[in-house]
Amino acid sequence: MVVTLCVVFILSACVHSCDGNLRFASYYGDHMVLQKSPERAVLWGYGPEGAQVTVSLSGPIKQKPLVVTVTKGIWRVTLDPVEAGGPYIVIAAVQNGTAVLTDVLFGDVWLCGGQSNMYFKTSQIFNASQELALAAKYPHVRPFMAALRLSETELIDLIQVELPWSVPTARRVAEFSAVCWLFGRYMYETLKYPIGLVESCWGGTPVEAWSSSRALQQCELDQTKDGPNNNSVLWNAMIHPLLNMTIKGAIWYQGEANTDYHQEKYNCSFPVMIDDWRMAFHQGSGGKTAHDFPFGFVQLSTYQKGSTDYGFPNIRWHQTADTGFVPNPRMKKTFMAVAMDLPDETSPYGSIHPRDKQDVAYRLTLGARAIAYNEKDVLFLGPFPKQILSTYKYVNITYDQTVSVTPSKDIFEICCSGTKAPCESKSPWVPVPIMQWGVTTVLLPNLCGGEAAALRYAWTNWPCDFKACPIYSRSRILPAPPFIIYAAKGNIWKSY
């Protein structure tokens, strides 16, 4: 293992001349992207105890060299704000050696985390060959990947780097996260400046593995699983080491593993993980990463067509802290890509791994443009009910935007107040057809013969065929997210 670490450090940070005792941390390297202004990038590494390290930046804009003392074997500096662009050369020097980074760009750095659908490679998506042929045309979108490693304790640096910072080529991008790459490429089309992409994800893992022990304690989660599913082991090895890095934001695709593991706690564990990451990155970067940095995620797609299990719809709901949409009061400065209308029944990787990652990434970019970059007039949310009027004959839903509607017999379901059991997932729910619709409204029959107690939409593992859900935004780009709304809760429902 020691030999492996040395090779990783040499390849990723000391390509030119490097004293054996002076080096950058594992996730700094040639071709990397550092966070641009107004944030300030943090650089750190290792050196001889007590040595004076001079860090200088050479490129389009020069900065005054920074001098820092190595303490407990570590040196660290915070650069002045640097506008987007490059390339730069970064030099860390001591009396008898230097460590050099070349072709360094400044732009926005996004962290990409989660499980197998984030890990899903670009070579596996629909139209992969066309996508990979484009890779070299985006030299300012730079990928980096942490290796799959776990630890029982919090680490200061990565154990190993899988893909050092790279100028994209078809070969490198083929093995990189498709959602992460596409998100970065699409954002570059909008921003026109460098994008750094840091992939740190592991298939089949629950949110507990990516959460610190303090976060899990808030949700009273102390039960553990084995290997990479164990509490905090991936936080310790694959997230905690990155905390010193200044980042713009994060995107996340995970939740499948929690459909049968602490499912009922996901409405706590996921929002708490986001809060905890924000606090930790803010503190770890010395306040340079925003304390409320934007966090985007993919709402779960589909699995097991025809299944009567409610694991996926429950997790979809819990991903929004049981609100149905984000941002919301519990999950501020977050954005979501709805993916339940992108099933892939014939995926050779299993239907749990749909190959259309292009639409997923595009929907994420809409949220990022609105939430992370404050771009006005970007529609990034699908239609959601703002009022439900219920009579003994009808249920009338008014949405918060113009809707595009196609008929459906069963995607809406109603729970009647006369049922003995409460309106929980396994209670008797009655499918109701769409009778009529208007510019912003959908009319359903009330089949209860009395008061309706609750209404839900798309509450199955596999709600609809590919891009064929009944309710979309006017442009049909954004599907309405699933919901479950009770007559007795909140101020959205009115009965007459």
What is residue 451's predicted lDDT score, i.e. its pLDDT?
84
Query: Which of 346, 371, 396 is at the close of a domain?
Result: 371
Tokens 């995607």 sit at which residue? 411
Q: Are residues 259 and 351 in the same domain?
A: yes
Q: Shortest CA distance to 258 belongs to which of 240, 231, 279? A: 231
474 located within any domain: yes
CB-based contact 13:23 (threshold 8 Å): yes
What is residue 175's predicted lDDT score, i.e. its pLDDT?
98
167 located within any domain: yes
What is residue 3's predicted lDDT score, i.e. its pLDDT?
31
Q: Shortest CA distance to 214 belongs to which of 234, 238, 231? A: 231
CA 266-272-275 angle, 5° bins: 145
Amino acid at 313: P
Q: What share of the chain is helix, strand, coil (3-state, %, to 5)?
A: 25, 25, 50
Q: How many residues are given for the chain?
A: 496
Count structural domains, the chain. Answer: 3
The CATH number of the domain holding residue 170 is 3.40.50.1110
What is residue 420's predicted lDDT score, i.e. its pLDDT?
56
Amino acid at 308: T
Q: Shortest CA distance to 144 belongs to which of 16, 247, 275? A: 247
The reported pTM is: 0.94
249 three-state secondary structure:
strand
Q: Are residues 366 and 430 in the same domain?
A: no
Query: Which of 345, 371, 397 is at the close of a domain?
Result: 371
Question: Is the four-CA dihedral 150, 152, 154, 157 of positive or negative sign?
Answer: negative
What is residue 17's predicted lDDT score, i.e. its pLDDT?
35
365 located within any domain: yes
Q: Are residues 308 and 207 in the same domain?
A: yes
378 located within any domain: no
Q: Are residues 333 and 350 in the same domain?
A: yes
b/e for 380-413, b at 16 or more Cβ within 10 A? Answer: bbbbbbeebebeeeebbbebebebbbeebeebbb
218 located within any domain: yes
283 located within any domain: yes
**pLDDT one digit per residue (tens) for the chain, 496 residues:** 333 333 333 333 333 334 448 999 999 999 999 999 999 999 999 999 999 999 999 999 888 999 999 999 999 999 999 999 999 999 999 998 999 999 999 999 999 999 999 999 999 999 999 999 999 999 999 999 999 999 999 999 999 999 999 999 999 999 999 999 999 999 999 999 999 999 999 999 999 999 999 999 999 997 877 788 899 999 999 999 999 999 999 999 999 999 999 999 999 999 999 999 999 999 999 999 999 999 999 999 999 888 888 999 999 999 999 999 999 999 999 999 999 999 999 999 999 999 999 999 999 999 999 999 999 999 999 999 999 999 989 999 999 999 999 999 999 999 987 665 678 766 689 999 999 999 999 999 999 888 889 999 999 999 999 999 999 999 999 999 999 999 877 678 877 6
DSSP symbols for 453-486: EEEEES-SSS-SSTT--SEEETTSSSBPPPEEEE
The CATH number of the domain holding residue 44 is 2.60.40.10
Q: Are residues 392 and 439 in the same domain?
A: yes
Query: Which of 105, 138, 167 is at the close of a domain?
Result: 105
Contacts 24+ apart (CB under 8 A), 225-230: 225/261, 227/150, 228/148, 228/150, 228/202, 228/204, 229/204, 229/205, 229/257, 229/261, 230/150
Q: CA neighbours within 13 Å on the CB side: how many for 295? A: 29
Q: Are residues 150 and 279 in the same domain?
A: yes
Q: Are residues 12 and 136 in the same domain?
A: no
33-35/52-58 β-pairing: unpaired
Alpha carbons 147 and 159: distance in angstroms, whole number: 8
Q: Are residues 44 and 149 in the same domain?
A: no
Helix 266-284 vs helix 311-318: angle between axes, to the nearest 10 degrees? 40
249 located within any domain: yes
380 located within any domain: no
Q: Are residues 110 and 55 in the same domain?
A: no
Write the CA distances from 296 to 179, 435, 442, integer angstroms.
12, 35, 29
Q: Are residues 308 and 197 in the same domain?
A: yes
Q: Are residues 175 and 115 in the same domain?
A: yes
Q: Which residue range(s) make up the domain with 392?
A: 385-495
Q: What DSSP designation does 293 have? A: -
Q: Are residues 230 and 332 in the same domain?
A: yes
